[in-house]
Amino acid sequence: MVLSKKTKKKKNIKKYNVCVVGAGHVGLVAAACFAELGHEVVCVDNDKNKINFLKKSKLPFYEPELEPLVKKGVKKGNLNFSASLDIGIKKSEVIFIAVGTPPQDDGSADLTSIENVARAVAKNLNSYKLIVEKSTVPVQTGKKVKETIQRYRKNDVEFDVASNPEFLREGKAIYDFFYPDRIVLGVESKKAEKIFKEIYSSIKAPLVVTDIYTAELIKHASNSFLAAKISFINGVSRVCELAGADVEKVSLAMGLDKRIGKEFLNAGLGYGGFCFPKDVEAFMYISKKLGYDFGLLKEIKKINDCQRVHFVEKIKEHLWVLKNKKIAVLGLSFKPDTDDMRFAPSEDIINNFLKQGAEMFVYDPQAMNEAKKIFSSSNKIKFFKDAYSAVKNCDCVCFLTEWDELKKIDFKKIKKLVNYPFIADGRNMFDPAQVKKYGFEYISIGR
Ligand code: UGA
C-alpha cells in the first residue's frame, strides 16, 4: 500500500529533514510513510530496546504492511532510528510530536511527554524549526508548547508551532496515511503552511487549513463523534432486544440515508483501543474545564461501558450459574488486524467471568502475547494456539473480535468439540439462522 512511483515522479518534491518523536502506532507509521514520500526521517524514542529492535527492522507491534515499509526505508537509508532526542531535533527542520498522552484518573490527558519534547526543542534550537503536534491533544496544547519553548530557549532562533492531527486507524494505518479523507493543518504562519504543503505534496487529499485551536479540536470532535455513532447504535440495539426488532436491519436502513452514512454503525461490544475511550474522556474533561458541561459525552461512555456488562448478563441468563463453567473466548484484541489489547472489551468481559467463578479458554490470531501480559496473575485462564483447541469441552463459545479467520470457523467441527453447543456472538459476525442450523443455541447483539 504505497504511493505509486508515477505519482511520486510527477512531482518534484522538496525533501525535508524530519524528526518523528515517539515510535508508537502513530509515530512509527508516520516516520515510515514520510520516508516513503522521500523525506530524510529520524524516528526517536526513549525506549532503547525498541530503538535497537527497530534498527534491525523488527516492529514493536503488529500492523499490516508496516514492516516492509520500515525495511525499505532503513535499506534506502532515509529512515533512521535513534534514542537521542537532542540529535533528532538538531538535525531536523520539522519535528512531529507523536508521543503518548495517556489518560489520568480524572480523565484528563497526561501531557508530560509533550512538555519534555518542547523543552528539548528549546534546548536544541540551532536553526528554524516547525514543531508539529501529531498526537491527539486537548485544545490549547499548542499554545503551551509554544510558551514552553519560549520560556526555556537560550537564543532568538525562529520557530513555529503547528497542529497536524493524525486520523489513521490501527490495522489500516498505512492506507489511511497515504489516502486520508482530509489533511488538517493548524498553523500560525504562511511559512509553516508552505512547509506542510510541500511535505504532503504527493498525497491527494483535501487540505483544511485552520488556526491551531481549531485543528486540535477537530481531532477530539471527530473521535468523539465516531464514538457517539457506535454508542447510539448500541443503545438502539438494547431497544431492539426488548422490542424484538433486528438492529442489523435498523442500521442498514439508517446508514443508507447519506446524511447518516453506514460507517461506524455496527452494533456490538462497543469501542475499545487507546483512542476512543481516552479521547471521549479527555474531551469531556477539557470542555468542562473551559466552562461547558458536555453531557452527551458522558452518555456515550456510559452506553459503551454497559455493553460489556450486558453481554455477560445475557450469557448468564442462558447458563444460569457461571461458577465452574468453561467459557471459550475467541478474539481478544480490541478490533481485528491488530494485537492491541488496550481498553479491549475482552479484558472487562473475561474479568467479569473470572469474578463469577468461570474458567476461561482463550485464543486470538495476533494478540496472545499481549493478552498473556494482562492476565498473567490468573490461573483460571488458559491460552490456546488455535480456536478449535480453545473450545474443547466448553459450555459457551464467545466471539469478541471479528477476525476474518474466526468468521470462517468450521461450526461442524466446533459442535463435536464443545460440551454444550452455545454461541455468544458479540460482534454480530454470523447469520443467526445459519448457526442455529448447525444445532447451536445462539445469542448476538440487538437481534
Ligand atoms: C480511531 C479512529 O478511527 C482514527 O481515525 C483515529 O486516528 C484513531 O482512533 C486515533 O485517534 O489514533 P482506532 O482506534 O484504530 O482509530 O480504531 P477504529 O477502527 O476507529 O475502531 C475503534 C473501536 O470502535 C473498535 O473497538 C471497534 O471495534 C469499534 N467499532 C467501530 C464498533 O464497535 N462499531 C463500529 O461500527 C465501528
* Exposure string for 16-37, b = 16+ CB within 10 A, e = fewer: bbbbbbbbbbbbbbbbbbbbbb
Which residues are designated catalytic?
Answer: 275
- Nearest CA owner, ligand 1 atom 7: 167
Asked if CATH classification 3.40.50.720 holds for the domain at 306-443, the reply, yes or no, is yes
Determine how many CB atoms are found less than 10 A away from the CB of residue 244. Answer: 7
pLDDT tens-place string over residues 233-277: 999 999 999 999 999 999 999 999 999 999 999 999 999 999 999
- Nearest CA owner, ligand 1 atom 9: 275
Closest ligand 1 atom to the C-alpha of 334? 26
CA distance linking residue 236 with residue 445, whole number of Å = 10
Q: Which of 144, 61, 77, 63 is nearest to 373 (CA)?
A: 61
- Nearest CA owner, ligand 1 atom 28: 335
pLDDT tens-place string over residues 186-219: 999 999 999 999 999 999 999 999 999 999 999 9
171 C-alpha to center of ligand 1: Å? 10
Question: For residue 10, is pLDDT > 50?
Answer: no
Range picked from 11-15, 28-32, 376-380 for highest mean pLDDT: 28-32
Closest ligand 1 atom to the C-alpha of 263? 36
- Nearest CA owner, ligand 1 atom 21: 271
> In the prediction, which pLDDT does 378 show?
86
155 C-alpha to center of ligand 1: Å? 43
> Same fold for the domain at 14-210 and the one at 306-443?
yes
Residues 431, 434, 436: CA angle, nearest 5 degrees: 110
Alpha helix ranges (H) inside 271-356: 276-290, 295-319, 345-355
Closest ligand 1 atom to the C-alpha of 345? 26
Sequence-ordered list of residues with C-beta below 8 angstroms from that of 77, at least 6 positions apart, any chain: none
Closest ligand 1 atom to the C-alpha of 265? 36
- Nearest CA owner, ligand 1 atom 17: 169
Element (H or E) spanning 184, and its range? strand 183-186
224 C-alpha to center of ligand 1: Å? 10
Which of 167, 169, 251, 339 to mutate for ligand 1's pocket (most ligand atoms within 8 Å of CB)?
A: 169
pTM of the predicted structure, to 2 decimals: 0.94
- Nearest CA owner, ligand 1 atom 37: 264
CA distance linking residue 172 with residue 236, whole number of Å = 28
Residue % of the chain over a pLDDT of 90: 95
Question: For residue 86, is pLDDT > 80?
Answer: yes
227 C-alpha to center of ligand 1: Å? 8
The architecture that CATH gives domain 220-299 is Orthogonal Bundle (1.10)
CA distance linking residue 262 with residue 16, whole number of Å = 39
Which of 229, 269, 276 to mutate for ligand 1's pocket (most ligand atoms within 8 Å of CB)?
A: 276
408 C-alpha to center of ligand 1: Å? 23
110 C-alpha to center of ligand 1: Å? 21
Ligand 1: list residues with CB < 6 Å.
136, 166-170, 223, 226, 230, 264-266, 268, 270-273, 275-276, 334-335
Question: For residue 2, is pLDDT > 70?
Answer: no
Classify burial at 160, counting beta carbons within 10 Å of its beta carbon; exposed 0-12, middle 13-18, buried 19 or more: buried
Sequence-ordered list of residues with C-beta below 8 angstroms from that of 293, at least 6 positions apart, any chain: 287
> In the prediction, which pLDDT does 3 show?
62
Question: For residue 9, is pLDDT > 50?
Answer: no
CA distance linking residue 338 with residue 421, whole number of Å = 29
Determine how many CB atoms are found less than 10 A away from the CB of residue 439. Answer: 10
> In the prediction, which pLDDT does 11 show?
56
Residue % of the chain over a pLDDT of 70: 98
**pLDDT band, very low/low/confident/very high, at 144 (cuts 50, 70, 90):** very high
- Nearest CA owner, ligand 1 atom 27: 271
Closest ligand 1 atom to the C-alpha of 136? 11
Could you tell me the residue ranges of all domains in the chain? 14-210, 220-299, 306-443
Q: Which of 358, 356, 306 is nearest to 329 (CA)?
A: 358
Q: What value does the mean pLDDT take over residues 393-404?
A: 98
Do residues 101 and 114 make contact, with C-beta atoms less than 8 angstroms apart?
A: yes
300 C-alpha to center of ligand 1: Å? 14
Choices 3.40.50.300, 3.10.50.40, 3.30.565.10, 3.40.50.720: CATH for 14-210: 3.40.50.720
pLDDT tens-place string over residues 282-339: 999 999 999 999 999 999 999 999 999 999 999 999 999 999 999 999 999 999 999 9
Residues 325, 329, 332: CA angle, nearest 5 degrees: 145
CA distance linking residue 72 with residue 100, whole number of Å = 26
Question: For residue 6, is pLDDT > 50?
Answer: no
Closest ligand 1 atom to the C-alpha of 230? 34
Do residues 325 and 256 make contact, with C-beta atoms less than 8 angstroms apart?
A: no
> In the prediction, which pLDDT does 423 show?
98
**pLDDT band, very low/low/confident/very high, at 107 (cuts 50, 70, 90):** confident
> In the prediction, which pLDDT does 8 show?
53
> In the prediction, which pLDDT does 347 show?
97
